[in-house]
Amino acid sequence: MIKNIILVGVGGQGILLAARIIASAAGHAGYDVTTNEIHGMAQRGGSVTAQIRYGEVVHSPLILEGTADVLGALEQVEALRYAAWLKPGALAAVSAESIIPVTVSSGRASYPGDVETRLRECFSNLKYLDCAGIAAQKFGNPRAANTILLGALANGLDLPEPAWRAAIDECVKPQFRELNRRAFEYGRTL
């Protein structure tokens, strides 16, 4: 069986680090892993998407629409944008953060209203979390939001705890490892 994970957000939120941690954890658990990422205008607040697939043998890094087992989103409208990629009833872990794109702040577009209601209608298995708020309040660093979200969605994956620890140690700079370990563990409780 192959697990398909999609992570979405905007540039600077840590989507690519979270993807590296998942891929590393799957590798440490003995799985074949492939990844695919799109981050065209990420430095300007644009959309960032990462796809991770792992299993006994994985031939392609691409996830087909409607086949993702888990969706992790660090920006709530990005979650709506990628809803069609998730299997019916599969886990969607979504941060409540809203990042207003330039097209909205310049008046050329509008940010959707009542996003939380739309998310709850769209995803039957939703974990809706204020990851940035939790990271700032509990850990004093809002940049740990990605690892909190990662912990929350890790419960929907079949990777053992030692593999996650090894992946965080491998992927995170030494000065941020303890923060990320604690944020991940806290996310697992949500």
Q: What angle do CA 98, 91, 87 make, to 5 degrees?
A: 110
State which residues form the domain around 37: 3-188
pLDDT recorded at residue 102:
65
By percentage, how much of the chain surpasses pLDDT 70? 93
Burial 74-101 (b: 16+ CB within 10 A, else e): bbbbbbbebbebbeeebbbbbbbbebeb
Could you identify the residue written with the tokens 């087909």? 64
Q: Report how far apart the first and last C-alpha atoms of the chain are (Å, whole number).
A: 26
Instruction: Give the CATH number of the domain where residue 49 resides.
Output: 3.40.920.10
Burial of 15 per CB tally in 10 Å (0-12, 13-18, 19+) = buried
Average pLDDT over residues 141-156: 94
Confidence of residue 7 (pLDDT cuts 50, 70, 90): very high
Quote the number of domains for the chain: 1
Residues 159 and 120: beta-carbon distance below 8 Å: no
Strand order in the sheet with 32-38: 32-38, 47-55, 3-10, 68-73, 86-95, 125-129
Confidence of residue 105 (pLDDT cuts 50, 70, 90): low
Which is nearest to 52 in space by CA: 136, 159, 139, 190? 159
Q: What is the CB-side half-sphere exposure of residue 17 using CA atoms within 13 A?
A: 24
> Is residue 10 pLDDT above 90, yes or no?
no
Q: What is the pLDDT of residues 162-171, one digit of tens each?
A: 999 999 999 9
